Structures are given as structure tokens and as C-alpha cells.
Amino acid sequence: MKPMNDKTAHEASGEPLSGASPIPLNVQADESGQRLDFFLSKRIFGLSRSHFKKLVREGAVLVNGRKQKPSYEVAPDDEVRVSLPEREAAEGLAPQSMPLEILYEDEDVVVVNKAPGVVVHPGAGNEEGTLVHGLLAHCRLALQGAPLRPGIVHRLDRDTSGAIAAAKTEAAYLDLVRQFKEHSVRKEYLALAYGRFAERRGDIRTLIDRHSENRKKMAVTEGKGREAISHWQVEEGFGEATLLRVAIETGRTHQIRVHLGYIQHPIVGDATYGGGRGRLRAIRSEPLRRALEKAERQMLHAHRLAFTHPRTLAPIEVTAPLPNDFSRIIEELEQIEESAARQ
């Protein structure tokens, strides 16, 4: 008799694949009628619809305890259980030790103050040395988000510093993804922007989509795109530059960078959205210009992150100190302002 492998054993028993981590998902009323593979791609971050189609066909997905086809239409109160083999999360990801500034950690969640220049997860041209590699050397991460983003529930650009959370358990991952999807996570940034602001605070509400000509950029659009909402307030003014506190309700790609560029106050050091050398040369104050030219990246920092703990339901709020490059520029700008006030 031919011995059964993991797949044939699963098909015979109806149990999850060996070594898998089952993820329970309950179908909500507004998800009724969705194809099973589509439903999974929307509920579990980091894997494509085609990948889920493959998992369904392999029997790694059960609906109410039974195998179904990828085209199965889910119904309210269906219980969907997904088994992601451990190899999905570990493939190609060798832990790599790196300095990590831990802002909060328990058995479910870890929050790190990401340094500028660090890529969050592997991708084209960034196969090693990412935050994910460093976290894997520090602790276990949830399998969801695999194969290249285990535990990652949101992202920061390479040159944006600050607070970023990752899930250590599957249950924590699913709950944090839900909180981000429902916009219940509070995200607050510090941004050093060009120009003076006539008002102390304001809101920016637009649609954001891919730039029509440069697909690597995002842009404010009309008629299509996804809603993006940012709230800003002035923290400190430095003449032709201003430190802003920006809270975002949505988390669109490059949202704050796009929004501040759109209102003609681009972030210092952000050449992609109008804050590069051309804007720097327009600064009339030589001391201010010399201080701002020290910015080697966009001066954007994820300062505060607040969410509900996925298991205890306790409110969690963490504050990430400014990195040295950002804080040194702010200190120099404050000294320039103090010197000007004495004259």
C-alpha cells in the first residue's frame, strides 16, 4: 500500500495539514456571497488570492469542518478555518540579529521604534537586513503575513522612523488587522514641513491613488482612488519651516507625504513629493537653510501608536522618541529661533 503524504492524509481525515496553525474566521453579514478565495484574501493580510485558491484546493481550508472549492460562496455564520504550514512563514527568512528599540512587548504583541533607513519586510532588492529579520531573531512572530511578512500588521516607509507593531500570535494578528481595517488604531506622526502655516490646525480630506505617470508615486486624485483623511496641528514654528503633529484616520500609502505636498508644505527631505533640494534653495534664511540641508531623508516620524490589546482589551499607547538625526535638526532650529529672538 502506498504510504500517505501530508496532503493525502489530510484529505482522508479532514484535519488540518501537519505542522499547520489553524486560524478561525467567522463570516460577517456584509461578506455573504463572496468567493471563498476572495474572502480569505481580504481577511488575512499578506497572501494573494491565487495563493489562497491553492490552499483551498490542497484542503488547508475548511468551512464548517468540510472542504470546499475556491468558488464556494461564503454565508453568514460560516466558520472558516485556515491552516498555514509553518514553512510558509519561515521560507527564506533567516533570523538576523540587529539593534531593536523595544517600546512595548508582551506574549502577544511587540512594538518597536523603527530606525530610519530600515525596510520593514523583505522584497525586491531588500532580501536581508529588514525589520522582520531582526524581529525573528528577537522573538516568535505570528505566521500570518507569510511568507515574507510574518506578524506585520502595518508598515512604515524605509526612511520614516517610529513606532510599528507586530503580532506574536495568530489571534493577536487577526485582531490587530481588524483594528487597523476599522480605523480604530490611533496613529500620530511628527513631520517637519516647509513653510509657515496661517492656521494652527486643519484637516486634509482627499482621494489618493497611484500617480498617473509615475507608478511608484501616489497622488491626490479626483473621481477615483481611496479616501484619505489627515488632521494636522502646528507644534512649533521656525520661520520658513514648521514642526507638525499629524494624526491620520486612514493609512494610505505615503498618505502624509502626499497630503503635505498637496497643500504646498512638503516634508523636509522628501524629494519625491516636493521637499527636495529645489525647495531648500528657496529658503531665504541662510542659518535655516544650513540646518535643513542636514536632512538626508524625509523628516517624518511615527510618534505615537494607540490600540486595544488583542487579548486583554486593555488600552495600549506607546510613544516613540525622535531619532538622533531628527532631534538634532529640531534642536538646531530652536537655537536659531532663540538667537533671532535675542537680536
Catalytic residues: 157
CA distance linking residue 300 with residue 272, whole number of Å: 13
Which triple of cell numbers denotes residue 261?
505636498
CA distances from 98 to 131, 145, 150 (A): 8, 21, 17
Task: List % helix, strand, coil for the chain (3-state, nearest 5).
Answer: 30, 30, 45
Is residue 126 within 8 A of residue 118, CB to CB? The reply is no
3-state SS assignment for residue 286: helix
State the number of CA atoms in the 13 A half-sphere of 272 facing the CB: 19
CA distances from 295 to 1, 26, 141, 159 (A): 69, 48, 34, 11
Neighbouring-strand partners of residue 208? 220, 226
The torsion region of residue 49 among left (phi > 0), alpha (psi -120 to 50) and beta comes to alpha
Q: Are strands 109-114 and 161-167 parallel, antiparallel or unpaired?
A: antiparallel
Range 84-94 burial, b when 16+ CB lie within 10 A, else e: bbeebbeeebe
